[in-house]
Structure 1
């Protein structure tokens, strides 16, 4: 372990594992997004696959393949609070591991690694974090270019760490921290390490332009559609006394209405509405039905958008 690297990460998680698989299965309506992200990650693990594809369909490895494999392994997940971006980031390693039969390790950067305000601390800790990941994956890629394992570095609330250096009031230590982040990300690309960095943010506009330019993918997560809300509610409330028509009505009521011009988020449904429905039915000693669901819905309002329109 790199000297002084203790406390850099909140915890590490190895994939595949059953707990992560359960969390992945609970992500309703995000299959296409996850599939695209896994395909991208798989191409980084084994670039020979896409080279073989190019030879098969084009008769040669076209220059565009080099552009793909040379881009920075950085994903940016942006969107309102509760729309699933952090959950996807935390379990994406499970999807990659099961799809590619490769060991994946998640490294969530801890709050400690963001520094406590001491001069130079954030820059030093960021540098150590990238040093540790580099040390652990520098030998993960074989001579044929195929990687035997993948690391995922997750930075949640990334706008607090990678805010734009264009801000006049930005402290020079914060600027140094952004520079350290950029150096670390660039080093991973230059060394072709099998490491994927994921930045999650509620404020895409606040990220430094240099960070946004480097991103291979910028995914803006939105609140669930009617179909996605219905699918999630059906999954959670199956076996209750709610009929398919009741579920559809509940999905409609959790969309944009005159009372709230914004729909419920995934976390509003999963962590607030449905648990409150269960507790309400439990307290009354009755089965979950449409009457209970409507009663709870009336007193459970959706989370207001976080700086709506400024993602």
Structure 2
């Protein structure tokens, strides 16, 4: 019998300080955050849709077709896009915002890729089944006997294309196909139920996911590289308190854009995990971080290469 420690990273109850701060620092994703809050709340607590309809559309009734269409969806969300654009960070932190919106704790489960197993016949299928059993047990505790919402469970699968790649691939092993079947069965078990569970798959290769899985998704969120305004927002926030003028910020926006070197623009992580830390450490510990230093560092850096076929549907 496989233990939870072998299937998942340590389970977290959200909100908690690290993820809450991570969610706050994901600047430039406001549109995705806003849509995600609505999608997640409606999937986790279908009763909220009924209450909304009762308030604004009392003649529609609880069995209105529009509401039924929403309630029947699988609790599956896809996060797709290029590397370094915030997919995984948001997947692991949006539960903090959801917990606040619904006034209940959110239990975060992060599946390990060791769930693929070692290739033995039936192993992958069994491991995926055990993973869904574990999160199902947790999720079913999230609703009381009278239907009140007590908690929400979020299952995050990072690098999902390594686990549930398309069964149409000619070179796909039988064991991998069986694993995808098992994952689809796990998702289908919760479609149209009131079990407060959300399944979030993150991938750099949306087209590589099995088509049946993509069809089941209640929503797909595509993450791109930040545009000029988003880079400006990220850089302004990151450099607050360092006496960096607006002209210098504008120059940094230009240097980190796709037109700077005929290459793709910087990703969010290029800005926050490479550019700013590198500039700070160039100045530390003997001199201040000057405008010239920032421009020099930005001009010497290349953006992370685009991951092939990252957002194609």
Among 213, 217, 220, which residue is 1:218 paired with? 220
Q: What is residue 49 of structure 1 aligned with on the other side?
A: 48
Q: What is residue 33 of structure 1 aligned with on the other side?
A: 32
Which stretch shows the higher mean deviation, 125-134 or 184-193? 184-193
SS at match of 2:10: coil
- Alpha-carbon distance between aligned partners in 1 of 2:106 and 2:185, rounded to the nearest angstrom: 23
Distance 1:239 1:6, change over 3 A: closer
| 2:301 paired with 1:297 | no
Distance 1:308 1:250, change over 3 A: farther
Q: What displacement does 1:225 show?
A: 1.1
Distance 1:114 1:11, change over 3 A: farther
| 2:112 paired with 1:113 | no
Q: What is residue 288 of structure 1 aligned with on the other side?
A: 289
- Alpha-carbon distance between aligned partners in 2 of 1:270 and 1:115, rounded to the nearest angstrom: 35
| 2:6 paired with 1:7 | yes
Decide whether the 8 Å contact of 2:254 with 2:260 is kept in 1: no
Decide whether the 8 Å contact of 1:47 with 1:145 is kept in 2: no
Provide the alpha-carbon RMSD of the alignment. 1.7
- Alpha-carbon distance between aligned partners in 2 of 1:179 and 1:87, rounded to the nearest angstrom: 28
Q: What is residue 208 of structure 2 aligned with on the other side?
A: 206
Which deviations, in whole Å up to 9, do the C-alpha atoms of 1:59-79 show, x marking residues without a partner?
233221111011001000000
SS at match of 1:189: coil
- In the superposition, the TM-score normalised over structure 1's length comes to 0.94
Q: What is residue 229 of structure 2 aligned with on the other side?
A: 227
- Alpha-carbon distance between aligned partners in 2 of 1:234 and 1:105, rounded to the nearest angstrom: 33
Q: What displacement does 1:309 show?
A: 6.6
Q: What displacement does 1:8 show?
A: 0.6
Which stretch shows the higher mean deviation, 82-91 or 239-248? 239-248
- Alpha-carbon distance between aligned partners in 2 of 1:47 and 1:145, rounded to the nearest angstrom: 11
SS at match of 1:14: strand
Decide whether the 8 Å contact of 2:73 with 2:191 is kept in 1: yes
| 2:144 paired with 1:142 | yes
- Alpha-carbon distance between aligned partners in 1 of 2:29 and 2:18, rounded to the nearest angstrom: 18
Decide whether the 8 Å contact of 1:45 with 1:146 is kept in 2: no
Q: What displacement does 1:186 show?
A: 0.7
Distance 1:188 1:205, change over 3 A: same
- In the superposition, the TM-score normalised over structure 2's length comes to 0.93
Q: Which runs of 5+ in 2 are unaligned?
A: none
Among 163, 166, 170, which residue is 1:164 paired with? 166
What is the aligned residue count? 309
Q: Which runs of 5+ in 1 are unaligned?
A: none
- Alpha-carbon distance between aligned partners in 1 of 2:5 and 2:260, rounded to the nearest angstrom: 51
